[in-house]
Structure 1
Amino acid sequence: MVKLYEGGVYLRGGKELVRESEATAAGIAATPEEARQGTIAWSILQAHNTSGDPEALKIRFDAMASHDITFVGIIQTARASGMTEFPLPYVLTNCHNSLCAVGGTINEDDHVFGLSAAKKYGGIFVPPHIAVIHSFMRENFAGCGKMILGSDSHTRYGALGTMAVGEGGGELAKQLLQDTYDVAYPGVVAIYLTGAPRPGVGPHDVALAIIKAVFAKGYVKNKVMEFVGPGIASMNTDYRNGVDVMTTETTCLSSIWATDEDTHAFLAMHGRAADYRELKPADVAYYDGCVEVDLSSVKPMIALPFHPSNAFEIDELNENLEDILHECELAAEKVGGGRAHLSLTDKVVDGRLHVQQGVIAGCSGGNFGNVVQAARALKGANTGCGEFSLSVYPTSQPVALELTRQGYVYDLMEAGAIVRTAFCGPCFGAGDTPANNGLSIRHTTRNFPNREGSKPGNGQLSAVALMDARSIAATAAAGGVLTAATDLPDETWDESCEYRFDSAPYDKRVYWGYGKAAPADELIEGPNIKPWPAMEPLADDILLRVCSKIMDPVTTTDELIPSGETSSFRSNPLGLAEFTLSRRDPDYVGRSKAVDAIEKRRVAGEDLAAEPELARVFQALEGAGVAADSAKTEFGSMIYAVKPGDGSAREQAASCQRVIGGLANVVSEYATKRYRSNVMNWGMLPFQLAGEPCFEVGDHLFVPGIRAALDGDLADVAAYVVRADGTVCKVSLYVADMTPEERAIVKAGCLINYNRAKAGL
């Protein structure tokens, strides 16, 4: 079904794969260095590169997008750094905090701020319930050969010929200040598609099959996934969009697809035929790896809790229900931490798994084609009056308008489904929260712990399994009994569906302000909107207290800063920071704030050695022969995690650590580039450590000469662990490649400090 190649491959004529080791015998004379310039990714990246060095990219994007969990902080950062106008189209959508159900006026105040910022700085403002961020960008901005940057990790428009990147807010602030996105030229992996999906198999099935194959191996981590091969033609563009948006869950950097006349038709239908051009690899192109996918072999999939890579064929699950569900229950015990429990095997009745909820929503599930297929399967059906319920969220008002015009909304509602407005909430725990101990099947992007809204610390735990809209509809028609779409007759499924885009909802409700900045206008800031607190520059020496140690194989950004109702405080840095690690290590915030209080006294003139516990640390260092001047040492907190940062691009995963005293992460590896970038943009050191950590929570790490070390290669940074018993041991930390700008940002204390100094503010 999905095959991973070892080593590099050549693609010849767009259809023939040749292993690098067999290139000479196959008559390919081009070296890998020469032939990699034949990829689609090379041409787009170099067209946007301003550095003059094809290996060290400095990218300027064509457009940007943010939603209402992130745009306030980004604008506040850029504003504090001297920005006076948006220099490129910047779309502010309101699709995450749309419900305004928590925190009084907090969420709507953010929306009012967004509109005032769009008017003041010249932005594009999409009001609540009008469109999901990625639907709006596909419909209005994505085009062949373009690059788009978004502050949401699922910023993916590769099927429309656009290389899109999801990053933390600091990277968007840089673009607003007309700086660049700096990254080494990434590896490019071919996703070679053959065959055609069988009836009932949808884009989520294809995506989950790929994620299952590549995630654990890190096969495409921080690389570009380039979709090529004859199988592309078997899918319409809407279907391709559904596959593409899920590439984020592989931990890749970006994605791009070969384009064709169907791409052209999609863009033309949206009034942007001029944005089309054919994109395809050169006659000979070299890739750093290859994922070969036979689409005809893909079956309906289900990704069980608690990750999209925990995927199985639905048939396979049904044949091994007890064993597979028991493994999930063991994982749930870890998530519950002894405070909450989830049982799944008790949901098996007469050999069939019964689920409690279905949701089709967001940038992956709410696409027109997915909802049409669900409506066709449910036409004349009955979802039942029992525990099971189904909610459907069309991804934009134009999509909802066309679904209504063609009668599909009627078919869904007549069957018992609830049709809602465009909203991202079910993807991150702010909408359609199932009951405690419930299992929800969703065509959304993620099923991490707490992504369904549960609170294990309060004894509340439910779970999400990811499925395609087609199988969710088949399950709904069966009253909640898990059913693969392919169990229905083939004639149920007809992927051809006529779509007519009507821009009226956008013409009448969206504020199109790019190029119309009104500097005299005032920003409207509600009581919860707070500026970023001041950060101090990095000292020559630093002392870190270990405030959390997480030995899980992977730590998601949702564990670092929970999504869901905490989103109400996204515009209040100190308010949001109170939730840092709250569902993983509830004592972390108190520990880190205690460190921050001591550091604030140091900045005010107090010697660290005046603190009894720290006095013992410095005495232990002196006794071990390590020179340490307590009066000149900066004190901060530190998190150790094996592999943090999988998931969301939200910069708050790092900034929340920083504003309550965080000064460094020490890790085995970073799960994603975007989280590591957030760490550096917030002035924290992105340390790595080979082997097992030799420290525990409450121990200290002294790192002398760190400011000077940032001028070197950072391959061996000496540090000294001072344990609670007073013993001292030396460890070697290291930092992977940092650009000169990243080193300067960390020295300055954060991106805002760096930019203000550069602007002479």
Structure 2
Amino acid sequence: MELLNTGAYLVNGIDIIPDTEEGRAELKARTGAVPCPADAAKETIAYGILKDHNVSGNMENLQIKFDKLTSHDITFVGIIQTARASGLEKFPVPYVLTNCHNSLCAVGGTINEDDHMFGLTCAKKYGGVYVPPHQAVIHQFAREMLAGGGKMILGSDSHTRYGALGTMAMGEGGPELVKQLLSKTYDIAMPGVIAIYMTGAPQPGVGPQDIALAIIGAVFANGYVKNKVMEFVGPGVSSLSADYRIGVDVMTTETTCLSSIWRTDEKISKFYQIHGRSADYKELNPGAVAYYDGVVKVELDKIKPMIAMPFHPSNVYTIEELKANLDDILSDVEKKAAISLDGKVPFTLKNKVHDGKLLVDQGIIAGCAGGGFENICDAADILKGHSIGDDAFTLSVYPASTPIYMELARNGKLADLLETGAIVKTAFCGPCFGAGDTPANNAFSIRHSTRNFPNREGSKIQNGQISSVALMDARSIAATAANKGFLTAADEFTGTYTKPAYHFDKKIYENRVFDSKGVADPSVEIQFGPNIKDWPAMPQLAENLILKVVSEIHDPVTTTDELIPSGETSSFRSNPLGLAEFTLSRKDPAYVGRAKEVQVAEKAIQEGNCPAEALPELKPVFAAIHTQYPDIDKTNVGVGSTIFAVKPGDGSAREQAASCQKVLGGWANIANEYATKRYRSNLINWGMLPFLIPERDLPFTNGDYIFVPEIRKAVEEKADVIKAYVVKDGALVPFEMTLGALTDDEREIIRKGCLINYYRG
């Protein structure tokens, strides 16, 4: 793996020539010319697709309209509710509502099924597609039925990635889908494009997760591809099957890139043929001389079976390296755990070492990353004739769609897996986010899924319970299962991979999926449940702000799972106030109480009353403010809470990481950097100020009040620097923040208080 420290030209899709003096001389000798980078950048696949979908007329500042939208059942209720409140009458583009996150309906009685019935009736009323529970995970259905060459899809799940099929797809928070439902646009500056240049072919036993983890390990920490498009090119791409490419592609989300796209060929054409959609294939290749902002060189033949140790997909090692250096690496994991878990519970994996070998407790092959046909067939070949044993180790396999499940039943792989003691379940995303196969306390799980963030698998640190996950490829998980839980790399398997052909049967979808064919039926009544609630009223941005810091987080990265937990909150995703009770519950359990204490002041203002009477601790704050700003009173000030985090927002696209803070009275985040565009966009769309502060000693601490004068004016007038004060000992101590780049629409959304207010006018 090599990362170039310059931009580079790709010539005829084969040769990388760095953008250096020497490289430009070579390019001129070979082609007779050296195009300027700006012109050659137009020859990337990404540029062509973005141009085709941009309606701004300006390729520097894009306004994108997507071809299709997709959501699952812990996001579509909030999205549709927001769109309804903003004037939705009909889905203007195909919108697919899948049910793969709240599928079990096992928590909270019928709450989850109420969400499903809401989705079905909305698909009928507004002209959408409804995929019932257990039929397919969101991304597999999109691959099988939605993707198309040169198309763009927007999804409300962060792993919306269909680049291997020639579709540029992006995962964003719900408000960005609301904009599309209201026939508005997705507004971004033209992103950089990074070439992922592949050569060679993978060794036997090396699967797509191994390639993906190797790439993530190389680019995450240094931000090499952050908010950029990863374009997969080079001769090595041809060595990979469609399923294999899909398995690598879905994990690009963990690099923090914006999107991905791959060159396509006859293997992708065959994928579309198999799925009865030959017309949706389009051959995609970069132009004769294309320019990239950076290059990641991936030598596929040199990558070995990998493992991402807790608690991040970028914490990668080869399995060989881990086994050879168990004590040192496990000690390093303990150090990282002390930071991630704030020392709240003891954590070690050293007790999993038996006779020098690492014994794991659970294996999972699941979801949009692991549940593919080839992954499961290869795993079945490795396991055939073995037993997973009768001790603590368990193995669960979740095919990504019912058509895959049906084919496994027909070709015998299902029987091979069941015979070993493995359990094969229906399509469900639960293991990925803590709603299924939650490990026992202190257990260690290996998973071919997408993430291994702290507590994401379902443990509850606030209750003293902790378990952990390492990410691995399905093949090495199967080799470990065949070895009854002792960590084993798939390259130790010396048997034969049968590589059965895949036959897609669309009958199950024809029989069960509701497809309106884009025809809305306004007469349909939406079916609500008692847990489906409207968004509470949200105030507009005041002329001046008083913010109380109610949480201070100094982890290097804060994930959306830590901002709002995943699995345990699934039943409340359609209830804004109910869900908000879980905000930061794993990271800072006192947050909700602190935020609510401050919120009473803003509620008093909205009722025309004095905020300091409702919250007496504000009296000395106002006294200090009045020493320099005597005109500040209830008529021109807002009062709310804020949090500080070093780098918040890694991980899921879930908008609730921001909206939960908002409904509890949050007015801002303060950060050194935002981990992803999607989290920052979520803050903005919920009317929250995405403040930035330089990396240095903070001028404030948890519990301090911050006064931000003339903030509304600063937003409107595009101020480069935001002047603020910390209220300390009766005085105002000045400091400065910035807001980063904001579009005119984003400024107006913040000014109005949230996207709903913005569209209501």
Tell me if structure 2 keeps the 8 A contact 1:621–1:627: no
Secondary structure at 1:542's aligned position in 2? strand
1:184 is aligned to 2:218: no
Secondary structure at 2:375's aligned position in 1? helix
Compute the displacement of 1:664 (Å): 0.5
Deviations 1:178-201 (A, max 9, x none): 000000000000000000000000
1:268 is aligned to 2:273: yes
Q: Which residue of 1 aligns with 2:725?
A: 720
Secondary structure at 1:200's aligned position in 2? coil
Tell me the TM-score normalized by structure 1. Answer: 0.98
Q: Which residue of 2 aligns with 1:634?
A: 638
Cα 1:669–1:404 shift into 2, 3 Å: same
Q: Which residue of 2 aligns with 1:544?
A: 547
Q: Which residue of 1 aligns with 2:62?
A: 57
Compute the displacement of 1:625 (Å): 6.4
Compute the displacement of 1:25 (Å): 0.5
Residue identity matched to 2:226 = K
For the residues of structure 2 that align with 1:460 and 1:426, how far apart are their CA atoms? 17
1:100 is aligned to 2:105: yes
For the residues of structure 2 that align with 1:680 and 1:553, how far apart are their CA atoms? 22
Secondary structure at 1:65's aligned position in 2? strand
1:15 is aligned to 2:14: yes
Tell me if structure 2 keeps the 8 A contact 1:391–1:420: yes
Residue identity matched to 2:523 = A
Compute the displacement of 1:474 (Å): 0.2
Tell me if structure 2 keeps the 8 A contact 1:336–1:461: no
Residue identity matched to 2:539 = E
Compute the displacement of 1:338 (Å): 4.3
For the residues of structure 1 that align with 2:719 and 2:98, how far apart are their CA atoms? 40
Q: Which residue of 2 aligns with 1:433?
A: 438
Aligned residues, how many?
753
Residue identity matched to 2:448 = H
Structure 1 unaligned residues grouped into runs of 5+: none
Residue identity matched to 1:591 = R
1:244 is aligned to 2:243: no
1:293 is aligned to 2:298: yes
Tell me if structure 2 keeps the 8 A contact 1:380–1:415: yes
Tell me if structure 2 keeps the 8 A contact 1:607–1:631: no
Compute the displacement of 1:46 (Å): 0.5
Compute the displacement of 1:549 (Å): 0.7
Compute the displacement of 1:37 (Å): 0.1
1:562 is aligned to 2:565: yes
Compute the displacement of 1:236 (Å): 0.4
Superposition pairs of residues 143-154 of structure 1, within 5 angstroms: 143-154=148-159
Residue identity matched to 2:515 = W
Residue identity matched to 1:503 = K
Deviations 1:296-349 (A, max 9, x none): 000000000000000100000000001111221233334444443232111111
Q: Which residue of 2 aligns with 1:24?
A: 24
Compute the displacement of 1:712 (Å): 2.7
Compute the displacement of 1:512 (Å): 0.6
1:586 is aligned to 2:585: no
- Which range is displaced more, 119-128 or 725-734? 725-734
Tell me if structure 2 keeps the 8 A contact 1:361–1:393: yes
Deviations 1:681-703 (A, max 9, x none): 00011110113321111111111
Secondary structure at 1:683's aligned position in 2? coil
For the residues of structure 2 that align with 1:225 and 1:714, how far apart are their CA atoms? 33
Residue identity matched to 2:732 = V
Secondary structure at 1:382's aligned position in 2? coil
Compute the displacement of 1:708 (Å): 1.2
Q: Which residue of 1 aligns with 2:239?
A: 234
Deviations 1:514-539 (A, max 9, x none): 32211111111000000111111111
For the residues of structure 1 that align with 2:202 and 2:186, how far apart are their CA atoms? 37
Compute the displacement of 1:623 (Å): 3.1
Superposition pairs of residues 328-347 of structure 1, within 5 angstroms: 328-347=333-352
Residue identity matched to 1:746 = I
Secondary structure at 1:178's aligned position in 2? coil
Tell me if structure 2 keeps the 8 A contact 1:335–1:456: no
Compute the displacement of 1:626 (Å): 7.5
Residue identity matched to 2:408 = L
Q: Which residue of 1 aligns with 2:366?
A: 361
Residue identity matched to 2:183 = Q
1:498 aligned residue (492, 498, 501): 501
Superposition pairs of residues 599-618 of structure 1, within 5 angstroms: 599-610=602-613, 611-618=615-622
Tell me if structure 1 keeps the 8 A contact 2:8–2:295: yes
Secondary structure at 2:617's aligned position in 1? helix
Tell me if structure 1 keeps the 8 A contact 2:149–2:167: yes
Residue identity matched to 2:60 = E
Q: Which residue of 2 aligns with 1:454?
A: 459
1:527 aligned residue (526, 530, 551): 530
For the residues of structure 1 that align with 2:603 and 2:731, how far apart are their CA atoms? 27
Deviations 1:405-424 (A, max 9, x none): 00000000001110000000
Tell me the TM-score normalized by structure 2. Answer: 0.98
Tell me if structure 2 keeps the 8 A contact 1:639–1:665: yes
Secondary structure at 2:231's aligned position in 1? strand
1:516 aligned residue (516, 519, 524): 519
Residue identity matched to 1:538 = L
Tell me if structure 2 keeps the 8 A contact 1:90–1:514: no
Secondary structure at 2:169's aligned position in 1? strand
Residue identity matched to 1:55 = E
Secondary structure at 1:639's aligned position in 2? strand
For the residues of structure 2 that align with 1:616 and 1:125, how far apart are their CA atoms? 55
Identity %: 62
For the residues of structure 1 that align with 2:91 and 2:148, how far apart are their CA atoms? 21
Secondary structure at 1:239's aligned position in 2? helix
Tell me if structure 2 keeps the 8 A contact 1:664–1:686: yes
For the residues of structure 2 that align with 1:381 and 1:74, how far apart are their CA atoms? 47
Tell me if structure 1 keeps the 8 A contact 2:608–2:634: no
Compute the displacement of 1:492 (Å): 3.0
1:750 is aligned to 2:735: no
For the residues of structure 1 that align with 2:451 and 2:757, how far apart are their CA atoms? 35
Secondary structure at 1:17's aligned position in 2? strand
2:648 aligned residue (630, 637, 644): 644
Superposition pairs of residues 152-231 of structure 1, within 5 angstroms: 152-231=157-236
For the residues of structure 1 that align with 2:153 and 2:113, how far apart are their CA atoms? 27
For the residues of structure 1 that align with 2:246 and 2:422, how far apart are their CA atoms? 24
Superposition pairs of residues 131-146 of structure 1, within 5 angstroms: 131-146=136-151
Structure 2 unaligned residues grouped into runs of 5+: none
Compute the displacement of 1:567 (Å): 1.0
Tell me if structure 1 keeps the 8 A contact 2:645–2:672: yes
For the residues of structure 2 that align with 1:727 and 1:582, how far apart are their CA atoms? 33
For the residues of structure 2 that align with 1:112 and 1:464, how far apart are their CA atoms? 33
Compute the displacement of 1:428 (Å): 0.4
For the residues of structure 2 that align with 1:342 and 1:551, how far apart are their CA atoms? 20
Q: Which residue of 1 aligns with 2:657?
A: 653
2:286 aligned residue (281, 287, 312): 281
- Which range is displaced more, 283-292 or 624-633? 624-633
Q: Which residue of 2 aligns with 1:485?
A: 490
For the residues of structure 2 that align with 1:99 and 1:333, how far apart are their CA atoms? 33
Tell me if structure 2 keeps the 8 A contact 1:195–1:295: yes
Compute the displacement of 1:376 (Å): 0.5
Tell me if structure 1 keeps the 8 A contact 2:360–2:446: yes
Deviations 1:597-655 (A, max 9, x none): 11101111112343432121121123356763454100111011110000000000000
1:666 aligned residue (665, 670, 679): 670
Tell me if structure 2 keeps the 8 A contact 1:208–1:303: yes
1:306 aligned residue (301, 305, 311): 311
Secondary structure at 2:479's aligned position in 1? helix
For the residues of structure 1 that align with 2:556 and 2:311, how far apart are their CA atoms? 13
For the residues of structure 2 that align with 1:88 and 1:333, how far apart are their CA atoms? 47
Tell me if structure 1 keeps the 8 A contact 2:161–2:168: yes
- Which range is displaced more, 505-514 or 455-464? 505-514
Residue identity matched to 2:199 = T
Compute the displacement of 1:505 (Å): 1.1
Tell me if structure 2 keeps the 8 A contact 1:375–1:411: yes
Secondary structure at 1:414's aligned position in 2? helix
